[in-house]
Structure 1
């Protein structure tokens, strides 16, 4: 018999040294830019437009102008970021196929430099004695140059731009690339123009974000006078999902739960609930509740619609309707509450800053994680693009090395069953759940018994194991953004009435502790808020089991343990492609986590875990091996402790499941400048790959170098990228379809014979470009981060002790 509940095996990687990427960069895809039949005419048009703008400004002023490309054509806006021309790319947007760029210019230099460039475009100097056929293609890609307006700077969904002239709160994003103090300049100018300003901004590497109140007309005038504005977005309000509460259980149920519950004696592991009110000292929660605090002292505690107590109950006990069936309950973590929003006073705030405050006041405990069942109004309009709140969440996780779990938001309203599935796919995940580093939690359901409701003529909407009708998806995300949610927890079901209406019903909700426990002890809760409460319970159990594991590892283990249910697998077309898998991942993520698999290995199904500090970029060496200022990617290749004799012998023709998960945190740099390599949101990207059965070690190293070269020099959708990853191995996600390279957590699964696995003896972790690499102000020595690598091999029903054999081999690993 196979032994279960074995602690995972850890791989020490202290002896593994990185090697540099060693291929010359090159390549590039063909550009789809307008073909200008008469370069002189095109240059004259642009010069005239520049002169019109120049004549409306002082000769020594700094301001922004707008460049636009031609509809459905490439626009080389990155070429407009020229320090020698005193030009700074501020933001870009795309409307009806036309890409436009807002560029900060200095009238003392920029116009003369652009005039010279236009002259070189018309009369290019010969190159190697030959006429240049397509000189300065970025000028050919420019269709129009004009003054900026508030519409130019507005980078939110255009439907959010107010049409009235009432006062509204705005997010004003400022450039930090100036010798002036952007904070002082902005506040001074805003006050002079009569704008109300919240003086507590959020700052990133390139951007500082303020909230200000103004009418659209007043803000339009302001953008012409404040020359450090990079972009403008509408300010959002925080909201929570609605709780449907009824009288639940009698006092005898609570007494029963109290008698069989063992509370933790220490508070080293805790789950912090960030919500709209305090967690009350309910009889079931009091012994595990550390404290309550407010992220802002001005918050009101009078809001009774919030559900911090219900979330806290789920984070400790899970669904009470399930917990009541247990013979004993042993709690291994405690809870803490922080109020992060105010539903009564409703004063404007940057919720990223509020979240930072919440972490600051709870940072006295190192072994804590945060769960957040709140989201923004209009938060679904981002469609994967970073918001100020989500970017702040990414910065907090990176800098403070904390784990966050956030709900993806609920599908609201009563919708007819015949269009509900499509409505759900069109209901985009709400901010801040698009953050790369956090665990974004959606809902699935097993509450599918038609007899639960006790109402004739109604049926459950979702089948057992399917996505909950409450849960949102990332189907509308642009392709470069992470797959969200990563995982699903129980979130309840809905019912379908005879007339086709879809609605909530108490019987298909979860049960938790009620905040007004003097009138009722238990209440109903549903949706993704309930799911993130259950995620908190899962995280607390895992952190208590492995207190030394990094947040990256805890997140990795949760995703690593997740699988699609039978209902999810059944949604695949027949036959299906990797693109189908990626599309379904935008709905189901990686599936439903399994706590036992996340916590324990078995003798025939074991988990290897490696935690490694890693400098992702190094100073490139010249031909004499002397470091230069240029940065290059780093590669780690290390051996795997496979029991070769067993794999080639007893398991030779048996199928083994290999599962790999790579988890790390990125440092964000939000700005609406296209999120290309130079302006990437993420500081870096990491990838994993494993030696193929037919490869030598040298072939493997060569392929990794080729992969870096192609990914850094071509668009990820290019066929060359797919070619470099092409092999005969049937990975579940597959790097070929790029689903394995989204976000900052990457996972894949492969079924392979023991004989094949025996030859896959090395694994590589390597970096590819992010903004760290392409910023001259960032030294290679400052690109140190860390990652967690999780590897499973599972022999299924075969009774064999792989665990002991691999445990014996680990100390004997040698450096490659």
Structure 2
């Protein structure tokens, strides 16, 4: 490759030369600007190089006798040579298109690489030989292909020298970086351009309630989704403005499933949910103290004065100083009480697991990451059993620096429940994880911190700062709350118990998480304490497919009754599932995956552990068990009736485990959302089409009041998946579905 440089501000004449011209191909042309002369990048084959050399000699000879030669006899490429001051081999700096200071040097960074289509296959082979991987997918144009790659200067030079394919290197077109490079007016223009593509949700759409520091509703990306009337505060002296930016950042994460992807697309951004904000964080300038549980309770009252919409509550804050052993606190019990809501119309709260404390002066100590933050337990109110508690993982592609977390692993500061005291544990937390960003190693690799490349794009709190960055369990919690609200927008009559159950049921461990669980039962428990049930897949949650279906059963049960002055179990429920038996039998030994999730809310008693009865924190407890092969409803219920011992609340139900369930029942049965996964051949599952839901004692069993002998709702979510392509589970199941069950909509 060679560079032709022009004279001053004069035009460089390239004639009819094209990218597809044989021998000498035109790769790019730059006009003169800012005292930089015009230039052109040319790819010259080995044979054509000698031809050009001869043409230059002919041009030089012509110039020497120019006055005696007719203009009609000018040599080949006369205009090019006439307007060119020099030809030279193209350097890396010549090929770099962008601020020279942004060009990678020793450190690898994301680079947009433009290559010739006709040399692409060879280019890929050389890149593979050099150990260079491609980020994302190549974009093909008529004569060129654009690929993003993580490169340093040495690798860029090698690709330039060895392939003959490189047209140009550019700074990677990362939306965050592009946005941060420009000034305030340009940022505002970018934000407004994105805002013009937003199609807001219709009136009455479900709302994500941001319980935080307030929301900057004038942000052009938010203003169509939150009205002034929906900005509230628990203390009028605090106002509704967002002074810290945290609440506005959470609003953006909740509203947009992936703002960065939406911003870089040109398609309409169609929203199905809206926002509401209640300021529950005391500004630093205020001396009005409101305890957290009172602020949360008041926030719920404020928003529910408007009773015409469905809501999901998002609380991205934790309460430092409250117990971190797993014991229920006043705040977590208050959240449980609000979620229970007298068992009439439950509420869904998404709460953060909490972050390892870091600051600018005291960054994250990377030594903690080896144990996945085992020494930093989930913070209050993350232990609330009725809440959907959220940790953070990361799936971000990092192009700058060395990331701390491998792809698909724990966000470096996310807390876990690995060190919770089993005397107090009443649930498995977190329930799920969501994107919270990553960290980059500091020099010396003993500490780390987040950067623009590792964080999550969201909305900002001021004019000129319409976009901002966030992360950690705060962002993860808002992301899950937004997902839950989108589920409600699709299924507006669905109970909160069902929405929570769908999200847990639709979660799975990434390969990085699975590798940490390969050692057996104890490793699985540790991974459960770190990641919950993993990362929810929105598509699986929202849609069924021909080889994948999700069934939701909403029902209620009366756990207890009084007989002869004593409390006894009143009923269990047996469901004969609308099983696609013919299809399961037809595919025989093909592996299928069944996930079953039981979700219900309880009335809390936060003083239960004072009586050394953590099992009495819940008003009632439920369990599910699948039947044995060829069981009938009668035989399945009869077996459970014989095995359940009311006088021993920790008694396990034996002989119902065929070795194919993923998690030990003693762990999966904890809390109020129970999940387990069965994996095996399809023909074995074809003859197990029934499931029992039955009660276990809680504190209602110790009381004689009528309220403790009431019915209570529950939701059972069952998903069935197989990688087998030639199968239609959905159609057969849909034909058998009972009236009290919902099969989530199909996308086929």
Give the alignment's TM-score, normalised by structure 1: 0.63
Match of 2:325 among 369, 375, 383: 383
Match of 1:392 among 334, 354, 361: 334
Task: Give ranges in structure 1 of 5+ residues lacking alignment.
Answer: 1-245, 623-627
Map of 2:244 onto structure 1: 305
8 Å contact from structure 2 (residues 240, 278) kept in 1: no
Q: 1 CA distance for matches of 2:319 and 2:740?
A: 49
Q: Report the secondary structure of 1:647's partner residue.
A: helix
Match of 1:328 among 268, 272, 277: 268
| TM-fit CA distance, 1:653 | 2.2
Kindly provide the CA deviation profile for residues 759-813 of structure 1, in whole angstroms up to 9, marking residues without a partner as x.
21321000000001112335553x3210011111223233222211111122599
8 Å contact from structure 2 (residues 553, 740) kept in 1: no
Q: Report the secondary structure of 1:271's partner residue.
A: strand
| TM-fit CA distance, 1:545 | 0.5
| TM-fit CA distance, 1:350 | 2.9
Map of 2:453 onto structure 1: 507
Map of 2:584 onto structure 1: 647
Map of 2:311 onto structure 1: 368
Map of 1:799 onto structure 2: 726
Q: 1 CA distance for matches of 2:489 and 2:538?
A: 13
Question: What does 1:239-388 correspond to in 2, within 5 Å?
Answer: 247=180, 250-290=187-227, 291-299=230-238, 304-326=243-265, 327-344=267-284, 345-363=286-304, 364-365=306-307, 366-379=309-322, 381-388=323-330
In structure 2, relative to structure 1, the CA distance for the partners of 1:478 and 1:293 (3 Å cut) is same
Match of 1:741 among 669, 690, 693: 669
In structure 2, relative to structure 1, the CA distance for the partners of 1:724 and 1:495 (3 Å cut) is same
Q: 2 CA distance for matches of 1:678 and 1:387?
A: 13
Q: Report the secondary structure of 2:737's partner residue.
A: helix
Map of 2:696 onto structure 1: 768
| TM-fit CA distance, 1:300 | 5.2
Task: Give ranges in structure 2 of 5+ residues lacking alignment.
Answer: 1-178, 742-748
1:727 aligned onto 2:657: yes
In structure 2, relative to structure 1, the CA distance for the partners of 1:372 and 1:636 (3 Å cut) is same
Q: 1 CA distance for matches of 2:615 and 2:260?
A: 49
| TM-fit CA distance, 1:675 | 5.9
8 Å contact from structure 1 (residues 658, 750) kept in 2: yes
Q: 2 CA distance for matches of 1:678 and 1:477?
A: 14
1:431 aligned onto 2:373: no
Map of 2:553 onto structure 1: 610
8 Å contact from structure 2 (residues 350, 481) kept in 1: yes
Map of 1:594 onto structure 2: 537
| TM-fit CA distance, 1:679 | 7.0
| TM-fit CA distance, 1:632 | 2.2
Q: 1 CA distance for matches of 2:255 and 2:570?
A: 43
Kindly provide the CA deviation profile for residues 38-79 of structure 1, in whole angstroms up to 9, marking residues without a partner as x.
xxxxxxxxxxxxxxxxxxxxxxxxxxxxxxxxxxxxxxxxxx
| TM-fit CA distance, 1:306 | 4.5
8 Å contact from structure 1 (residues 684, 770) kept in 2: yes
Match of 2:617 among 658, 674, 681: 681
Q: Report the secondary structure of 2:589's partner residue.
A: coil
In structure 2, relative to structure 1, the CA distance for the partners of 1:765 and 1:525 (3 Å cut) is same
8 Å contact from structure 1 (residues 675, 681) kept in 2: no
Map of 2:496 onto structure 1: 551
Map of 1:572 onto structure 2: 517
In structure 2, relative to structure 1, the CA distance for the partners of 1:706 and 1:448 (3 Å cut) is farther
Q: Which has the higher contact order (CA 8 A, sep 6+)?
A: 1
Q: 2 CA distance for matches of 1:812 and 1:505?
A: 51
Q: 2 CA distance for matches of 1:509 and 1:638?
A: 45
Kindly provide the CA deviation profile for residues 158-210 of structure 1, in whole angstroms up to 9, marking residues without a partner as x.
xxxxxxxxxxxxxxxxxxxxxxxxxxxxxxxxxxxxxxxxxxxxxxxxxxxxx
Match of 1:584 among 522, 527, 535: 527
| TM-fit CA distance, 1:706 | 3.8
Q: Report the secondary structure of 1:375's partner residue.
A: coil
Map of 1:755 onto structure 2: 683
8 Å contact from structure 1 (residues 279, 312) kept in 2: no
Give the alignment's TM-score, normalised by structure 2: 0.69
In structure 2, relative to structure 1, the CA distance for the partners of 1:806 and 1:423 (3 Å cut) is closer
Q: RMSD value over aligned CA atoms?
A: 2.4
Q: Which has the larger radius of gyration?
A: 2
State the aligned residue count: 543
Kindly provide the CA deviation profile for residues 70-98 of structure 1, in whole angstroms up to 9, marking residues without a partner as x.
xxxxxxxxxxxxxxxxxxxxxxxxxxxxx
In structure 2, relative to structure 1, the CA distance for the partners of 1:461 and 1:617 (3 Å cut) is same
In structure 2, relative to structure 1, the CA distance for the partners of 1:519 and 1:556 (3 Å cut) is same
| TM-fit CA distance, 1:374 | 1.2
